[in-house]
């Protein structure tokens, strides 16, 4: 089959099965937990988010993404303020969400998430 004969599918035509061992599912759960935690903050509170690594280092994330089957991508800053891009197996991520008083950190956690292709409804 040559290139002219290969059918191209739009994202609306793709049907992606849910595999709960895949990184995209963990990514989705992280996104939902962050949104739920933020929604339950009281006036005068803000959210602090920290990714804790196995060696005790901490990263303040600004972005979460994923690469199936099992890698999460985390962008952010380390404890010294340096830009960090972390590639880690989805089963090794520890994320701490903390409710803090306004002004306890330099700025409230603003976190972006990689968009996903939503499975087509059949």
pLDDT in tens, the chain (122 residues): 455 565 554 555 545 566 777 888 899 999 999 999 999 999 999 999 999 998 999 999 999 999 888 999 999 999 999 999 999 998 899 999 999 988 766 555 788 888 765 544 54
CA–CA separation, 95 vs 88, rounded Å? 13
Instruction: Tally Cβ neighbours within 10 Å of residue 78.
Output: 14
pLDDT of res. 1: 47
Model pTM greater than 0.85?
no
Max Cα distance, the chain (Å) = 62
What is the domain partition of the chain in residue ranges? Answer: 17-113
């Amino acid at each position: 089959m040559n290139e002219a004969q290969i059918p191209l599918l739009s994202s609306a035509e793709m049907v992606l099965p849910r595999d709960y061992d895949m990184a995209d599912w963990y990514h989705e759960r992280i996104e939902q937990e962050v949104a739920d935690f933020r929604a339950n903050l009281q006036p005068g509170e803000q959210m602090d988010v920290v990714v804790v690594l196995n060696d005790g280092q901490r990263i303040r994330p600004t972005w979460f993404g994923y690469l199936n089957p099992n890698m999460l991508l985390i962008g952010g800053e380390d404890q010294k303020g340096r830009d960090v891009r972390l590639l880690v197996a989805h089963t090794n991520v520890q994320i701490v969400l903390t409710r803090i008083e306004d002004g306890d950190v330099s700025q409230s956690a603003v976190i972006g998430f990689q968009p996903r292709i939503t499975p087509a409804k059949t």
